[in-house]
Structures are given as C-alpha cells and as structure tokens.
Structure 1
Amino acid sequence: MQSQPFLGLAQRQQLSLTPQLRQALHLLQCSSQELALEIDQALATNPLLELADEAPESGAEPLVVDASPWGSGRSHLVSDDIPEPADTPGLAEHLLQQLHATRVSERDAALVWALIGELDDRGYLEFDPQVLAEQLPDGIEVADAEWRVALRLLQSFDPAGVAARDLPECLRLQLHVRHAEWSKPLLDLAAQLTEHLDDLAAARWGQLCARLRCDRESLEAARAVLRQLEPRPARAWSAEATHYAVPDVLVRVVRGQWQCVMNPAVERPIRVSPGLAADLEGLKNAGGLLAQLRDARSLLQGLQQRRQTVLRVAECIIGQQPGFREQGMAGLRALAQKDVAHLLELHESTVSRAVRLKYLSTPWGVFELRQFFSAAVATESGGETSAQAVQVLMASLLADELASKPLSDMRLAQLLAERGVVVARRTVAKYREAMGVLPASLRKS
C-alpha cells in the first residue's frame, strides 16, 4: 500500500522549560561566587540595569527562636567582601556547553539538562528515574529507556567518568575512554578489579589473585592503571571554590533569640534604571530595548525568588535541628531533603538546588547547608541520631588514637557502640572514607 500525504491536527505533551524558568533554576543553584559573575555580566550587557543604593528586601520575616542554649557570649565575624570568583566555568556550565554543541532532540537535551542539575560535588549522579520523573511537569511521562539514553549521552561528555553512579562505574567509564593507552587484557583485568576495591584497599593480594585468576605481577599492573584514574571527575572544577566560603545566610543571636537573615554581601543590589525605563514607555520603535527591559525584570524576579527560597530553606533546616543549636554538628538529627520540601510545600529538586554550595554562618562556625541533611542512625536507647553526628564522634575518637596503633574500623564500631551508637563495620568504613581518612593500615607510623 502506498502512503498518502496527510494534513491534520494532533495534541501531544512535550517537555520544555521557558527561558524565565531556566533562568530562575540557574540562579537558585548558583553559589555566591557564581552569582557575582551573573550580576557582573548582566550589568555589563544590559544598559537598563544599574546598582541600587540599598540592599534588597528578602521578602520574608526573620525566623526567631529561643537561643538560650547558645548563651550570649559567642560571636562571629562575617566579611562584607566576597572573594573574586574564578574565571573558569563550573562543571555544569562546562557540560552544558558540550550539550549545546551536540545534535540531539529538544526532549533528549531537556533530560540531559535535568541530569546535570542532579550531579553532586564529585561529579557523581545518584540516578533514580522515579525521583527525576517527579520533577517533570504534570502530564509528562518519560520511559526508563529515555533516561538511560540521556545518561549515556551525559557520560560521554568530558570529563571522563562524569555522571557515574558509584566509584567502580566512574573508573570503568574512564577505562573505556582511555582504552588506547593499555592492552585489552590489562584493561579487562583493571575493569574486573573495580569490583573489588575493598579488597584492594586492604591489600588482600592472595584473595584477589584467586578471584581474578591472575598472577601478582598482572594484578600490580592493573592496580597501577587504576591509580592513574580520577576518582572525583569534578575535582578540576571545584578546586578553586574550596579555598573560601562566603555564607549566604547569617544566624544572629539577639537578646537571647536567634534570627536567620540573608547576607547582604552575597548579592549586590541592582535595579532597573527608573529614568530609562520611563523613557522607553513612550517609544514605539524600541523593540531591542524593550526586550532588554523584559530580561532585566526577569533577572530581578529570579534574584528575588532565589533570596526567598534560600532563606526559607535555611530557616526550615535550622528550625528542624534543635540539637544543632545546643551541641553543634554533634547534635544533628536525621533530616532528608524531602522532609524540608514537604514542610515548605516545595519540590525536592528545588530544595536540592537551594542548598547547593550555599553556606550558613552560625555561632558554631560556617557550614554548607547540605551538611544538615543526613541519614538516620539507630542508637542503643532506641532513638535516632544522624550520620553527620556519628562522623563528628568518629573524628573525636580518631583524634585521640595512637599513631603507632591506629583504630581499625572494627574497633571504631566497638567504641561507637560503647557510646550508644550501633553501626556496622562496613558503615564505619563508609563514613571514614567520606571523612577522607585512610584505613588503619595506611595511618600507622
């Protein structure tokens, strides 16, 4: 049967983000240094924008809670000057540049864009199609196969290993990209070795040789290959940002009460020039300037939304952590981003962007907002504490260990149990690695 041309109307759902929404999401996840760059660029390119004389209003009343456990003697200083941000783009911008240069459908590009927004500071992706699907507009359905295609596309970008779900996958992605540097048998052995990293760290050479059916010389060669790989693909884009942290929200103790307020040093107040905006109202042939006026107002609206969202999330986090006000990080209780999202009636992805590279200045020090989210850990009394609090306790134990006899993971688990925190040895090893502490065999001096 020969097909005939047909002209008709059909309805379909399409995944798309308006420029205003893209800008608002981008501003929300910007760090203080990245935001300074955005404002500088807007001032340089849009003649309708100018610096305002006064700081913008946050749009929300400060949250005031009894701060008597803190006392009134503690104080902190916050600089009004933001360090000059680095000129190099962030990892997200680097990936988006590659996405724009890749010929893909608008739908696939939108899915990759969503995945980029979920990358953590290491460049890893805790990929859950169900969670990401919930972030899409109502009525939009994405099959698991589509997510897999978007993930493979993102994992093909530079740096090698980006968007991996765990360390073994990160290493295997890099082996695939750098396959020309080593022989195939050596690559295959190195790829198999990524599944036995615990045994490799513990130097269980005999077990590894038996499991992988290789000799010690081949095992050492595969180990040398893995040592040339990068376990944190985003390291090159985060090195500059780790030199300083400008708090976005300040916790102030005033007459026995504490308040959460935005740091006026983070965002220089800007506004639309009143005179120029008024002049444009009477012009008929000012299409380009009117477009810049819309862009300026859209930017101001995005900045206002950013201020309100970050402040609301910070207030909610501190309000849900009474133990932190009494003990600092050792008093953190279990808290998930979905809990804050539910309390504020926001989407979990909005909370995730709001806490990305945002810092809170408190009488206990300056902390990243992400540090206040932690999984629940059972205590001997039947209650719960947080993984962050357990790591603080582990840090105090490790600080008192003897250099000649460092504490093993099993011994740390026993000491934690004596203090009422019951965790498995593997959990202790996981927390120790997250703290950047080497195994006991490598700490011994």
Structure 2
Amino acid sequence: MKQGLSLRVSQHLALTPQLQQSIRLLQLSTLELSQEVEQMLDDNPFLELTLEEAPREEFGLDKADAPARDDDIDTEGAAEFSPSSPAPDSASATSESEPAATSESDTPDWDGDGSNEVVPDDGEWGGEAPASRNNLSGDDQMDATDLARGQESLQSHLHRQALSLRLSPEDSAALRFLIESLNDDGYLEDSFEELARGLAGDDLEQVEELVHRFTVAMNLLQHLEPVGVGARNLSECLSLQLKALAGAGAGPDDPCHAALAICRQPIDLLARRDVKRLAQLCGESEARIKAAIGLITRLEPKPGRRFVDVERNIVVPDVLVTRIARNGQPKFRVMLNPEVMPRLRVHDIYAGALKSHKGEGHQALQQRLQEARWFIKNIQQRFDTILRVSNAIVERQKSFFVHGELAMRPLVLREIADELGLHESTISRVTTAKYMATPYGTFELKYFFGSALGTETGGNASSTAVRALIRQFVASENLKKPLSDSQISDMLKEQGIECARRTVAKYREALRIAPANLRKAL
C-alpha cells in the first residue's frame, strides 16, 4: 500500500462554550436558574451577589428590550434593563441554527471572551429589588416545603389512635405492620397471605398464625379514623363508610341500605350510573337507587387523601404584565420580574488582585474570571430574550389581555420567531417553564400559543378560545340534560367555528370535563 498526503477543505460550525452555556441557561426554569447561580457562586470565586444597584453590563442583544411595534405596549417599566450599547450578534444565544457542539477538548476555553474592552466596569445588572434568597434566612421564616412536611401523615395519625387500644404485644405488632403496609390512599393492596409469607417464609404454621393476627388487626384498623381506611378495594371502602352512617340511627327508608346493596354489585355499574340495571339487581326502585347513588357520591373514595404530603409548587412569574390607563385606551406595561433576576457582579477585589499578580496559576485564574463575566452576560441575554418574546406575545394577544381567553387568537411559534428574527427552537426554549403574570392570572408562555380552527367567514379561531367556549357551554348546561359532544359541536358551528365531534371530545378531556352521562344529575 502506497502512502501519501492529501489536502481537503471542509466547513463545519461549532458552538463555543459561551454559546453552549447561553443556550442551556435559556431553557432553564426560574428554579433551575437559581440552582445554577448558586452552583456557580460556589465554584467561581470571582462571582458574587450584590444588593447594591450598579450599572448594567454593556453587552447584550441590540434589540433586547425594544418595545413591540404596537404603540399599545408600554415597556417603560423595563427601561432600566435596556442595554446601553449594542453587542455583536456572534455571541447571541438565540442563533438561527443550533448544531451539535464540537470541541477539541472537554475543558471549555474562556480565553479572549469578556475582556476588559468588552466589559469595562464588571458592574452588576438587574432590577431594583434585592436578589431572591433562601426563605430560611430569618429565624421566624420557614420554607414552603418545610411547612408541607410538617403535615401529619396517615400512618402517624393511625399510630396515635392505636396507642389508646389495650392490645397484646402480638396484636399491637400486627396492627402496626398493617398500618405501615397501607398505601397513600389508605388501602391495603397486599393480601394477608402475601404479607404473612413475606414475614414467615415457607413456615405454613406460622403463616396461618400471622393471617389470624392480621384478621384481628384489620378489624381494629377499620374502626379507626378516617372511616374507610384499611379497605382492600373501592367497594369495601364505600361499604365501611356507609355502615358507619347506617349505624348512626338510620331508619329503614334511609338510602344507606340501598347504597350498601349497590356496593355489593359490580363497581362498573355504579361508574356508568346504570340506574335500571342496579335497580333490578338490588330489588329497589329507581328513585331509591338514585338517592343511594347521590349518597355514595358524597363519600370519600380515598380516605388517606387529606394526609398525603402533596408537593407544593409555587409558580413565580418571570414577566409581569400590568394594565395602565392612558387616554381611556387599554395599555399594558411589560416588564421582567426583578425578584427572579439574580444580581451578579465580578468580585472587584479579586479581579484587581489578579491584574497585579502574574505568578503561577495566573492563566487558570484569568480563565475563571472570563468565565464569571460570560456567565453574567449569558444570564443578561436570557432575560433579554424572554422580554422580547413576551413583548411580541402581548402585542399579538392584546385581545386576550382586554377581553379574556375567549378572545385568544391563534398563534404558533413560527410567527414569533419570524417577527424577532430568532430560530423556532429558541422560542420553544423561551416559552417552556417561563410564566407571565397577567390581569387574568399567571400562565406559562406556551399558554398563549394555540392552533387555528377554521370559521365560516374564512378566518381562524384559536383552540384556546374554543376550549374556553366549551367550558362556558358546559357550565351553563341543564344538569338534567347535559350537552353531548355532538351538541357542543353543533353549538360551535352556530358560532361560526368548524369543530368536529372528535375534536370537541379531545378538548373536553383536556379540560377534565366528564362525558354527558356522568354529568347528568340524578
């Protein structure tokens, strides 16, 4: 084989570490960004939080805070965030194309970026409010998660009641074991035999003894509060609650007796509200079956629900939209929420010491300094892009901010991307897990985007507005004759909106609205 040299010319596009970081920061939520900032503060000694107001970094998007074209959008409240001078587009995180990153080494190279010529003052940027800090800074303040964890669990509630029972050590241990075997809803999913085999293995005599102990303990457990706890299935849970009601002096005509008969039938008949079939199986009149079903609907199908430690997610908006009065016309001010904007700056003392120090390790420290400067710049660009997109959304959906969701217009990501000169994937990153506080509530930015449905006039109606219209129809329907999906489709056609029955069913399920047969009042 003959060896030789050849020369080949090719082109490829690589993302710099700065641009990779900018894209990653753009798609982070507010909570994730806060964690990223905390991590960077721990890793980089040149970065620090400040509570003092300082000049904004002199770089960013050249049109980052430019107001939307419509004069009705007022961005005076965000003027303090506008960049003082335009920046080159090469460092923008919102590039038109976003290929896979390639690098000759795994270590990011920050040399030459964020130099003193680009960042003359290393100043902090942000709004007027102090940085959002941990709620545990004061002795009398508690985090929302700590408050949630302070709630008593179902097991603790049952154990506390079991202390008042005079039981033998064996029965007390069996009762404690069953309590710990309950799921979050208060049900015992495993059979006594399975629980016993898990403790005794293949010893049949001991298994039988444990099954007997569990049977006695189950009778005790099902008499504890909340009523219905310890049931093996939904029918047993409802029956326990009905027996407790029937034992409270109920007469022969009380619907509890018919309700107990219903619970002994296949549960799917109750789910379908098949009154005629249940009346035949239970030997009761349809009137009594309807009254019994009405009683069952007031019971608690999940006794342990109120003890579940539900994760509390507090949504903090990234953008604030407020309505202002100007010449009697509706105007809106769009501004970033200063509470979610980290106020960062380069540590002046450390940066000054590095300039005068040229000894060992100077190059590594210089790279960390450039990394801190670029981190500040990328966070600034992140909020710049969020504000630009928010301005464009408010301009396009101005009718929503005036009249509500029924006036929502169809909008897709491509329209905003074309208007701002950004890539569609960038708009997708910006609108994911970012929230806007409006006069009608707090919504994710993706909420303002919806597909279009045709109308008789040749125009388009937003799917969001159609869902709101369906919710309005259902809220005003006659409960004795609820609207079917076909009837709702016909009512939408009367409004000039072409919406098929299947589409209505899909929107109804998305709104978590039950079908007509389950909404019907008995």
Structure 1 residues 437 and 18, CA gap change in structure 2 (3 angstroms)? farther
**1:350 alignment counterpart:** 426
Q: How does 1:38-57 map to 2 (within 5 A)?
A: 38-52=36-50, 53-54=52-53
Q: How does 1:151-190 map to 2 (within 5 A)?
A: none
Q: What SS does the aligned partner of 2:20 have?
A: helix
**Partners in 2 of 1:294 and 1:333 — Cα distance?**
44
Per-residue deviation, 1:282: 2.5
**1:19 alignment counterpart:** 17
> Quick check: 1:282 aligned with 2:347?
no
> Quick check: 1:268 aligned with 2:325?
no
Q: What SS does the aligned partner of 2:351 have?
A: helix
Cα contact 2:455–2:498 (8 A) shared by 1: yes
Per-residue deviation, 1:6: 4.3
> Quick check: 1:384 aligned with 2:382?
no
Q: What SS does the aligned partner of 1:310 have?
A: helix
Cα contact 2:97–2:423 (8 A) shared by 1: yes
For structure 1, the residue ranges without an aligned partner over 5 or more in a row are: 69-133, 141-202, 204-238
Q: How does 1:148-227 map to 2 (within 5 A)?
A: none
Structure 1 residues 56 and 413, CA gap change in structure 2 (3 angstroms)? farther
Which amino acid is 2:322 matched to? R
> Quick check: 1:407 aligned with 2:412?
no
Q: TM-score, normalised by structure 2?
A: 0.49
Q: What SS does the aligned partner of 1:314 have?
A: helix
Cα contact 1:406–1:444 (8 A) shared by 2: yes
Q: 1:243 aligns with which of 313, 321, 334?
A: 313
Per-residue deviation, 1:325: 2.4
> Quick check: 1:432 aligned with 2:508?
yes
Structure 1 residues 441 and 291, CA gap change in structure 2 (3 angstroms)? farther
> Quick check: 1:259 aligned with 2:264?
no
Per-residue deviation, 1:383: 2.5
Which amino acid is 2:44 matched to? N
Cα contact 2:15–2:99 (8 A) shared by 1: no
Structure 1 residues 55 and 27, CA gap change in structure 2 (3 angstroms)? farther
CA deviation string 1:253-297 (max 9, x = no partner)? 334332111000112211111221122122223222212112111
Which amino acid is 2:33 matched to? L
Tell me the number of residue pairs that the alignment of Structure 1 and Structure 2 aligns.
279
Q: TM-score, normalised by structure 1?
A: 0.57
Cα contact 1:67–1:253 (8 A) shared by 2: no
Structure 1 residues 55 and 264, CA gap change in structure 2 (3 angstroms)? farther
Q: What SS does the aligned partner of 2:461 have?
A: strand
For structure 2, the residue ranges without an aligned partner over 5 or more in a row are: 75-95, 103-271, 273-309
Cα contact 1:55–1:268 (8 A) shared by 2: no
Q: 1:313 aligns with which of 349, 367, 389?
A: 389
Q: What SS does the aligned partner of 2:335 have?
A: strand
**Partners in 2 of 1:404 and 1:9 — Cα distance?**
82
**Partners in 1 of 2:339 and 2:54 — Cα distance?**
9
> Quick check: 1:28 aligned with 2:36?
no
**Partners in 1 of 2:378 and 2:499 — Cα distance?**
44
Q: What SS does the aligned partner of 1:243 have?
A: coil
Which amino acid is 2:347 matched to? S
**Partners in 1 of 2:517 and 2:469 — Cα distance?**
21
Structure 1 residues 418 and 327, CA gap change in structure 2 (3 angstroms)? same
Q: 1:304 aligns with which of 380, 392, 395?
A: 380
Cα contact 1:329–1:392 (8 A) shared by 2: yes
Cα contact 1:374–1:386 (8 A) shared by 2: yes
Per-residue deviation, 1:441: 4.3
Cα contact 2:73–2:395 (8 A) shared by 1: no
Structure 1 residues 67 and 400, CA gap change in structure 2 (3 angstroms)? farther
Q: What SS does the aligned partner of 2:453 have?
A: strand
Q: How does 1:324-403 map to 2 (within 5 A)?
A: 324-403=400-479
Per-residue deviation, 1:332: 1.0
Cα contact 2:453–2:497 (8 A) shared by 1: yes
CA deviation string 1:122-148 (max 9, x = no partner)? xxxxxxxxxxxx84459x9xxxxxxxx
**Partners in 1 of 2:28 and 2:495 — Cα distance?**
40
Per-residue deviation, 1:314: 0.3
RMSD: 2.9
Per-residue deviation, 1:444: 4.8
Cα contact 1:48–1:276 (8 A) shared by 2: yes
Structure 1 residues 243 and 319, CA gap change in structure 2 (3 angstroms)? same
Which amino acid is 2:406 matched to? A
CA deviation string 1:292-343 (max 9, x = no partner)? 1121111111111111110000001111122112212211111111111111
Q: What SS does the aligned partner of 1:50 have?
A: strand
Cα contact 1:43–1:50 (8 A) shared by 2: yes
Cα contact 1:250–1:362 (8 A) shared by 2: yes
Structure 1 residues 346 and 18, CA gap change in structure 2 (3 angstroms)? same
Q: 2:370 aligns with which of 294, 303, 309?
A: 294
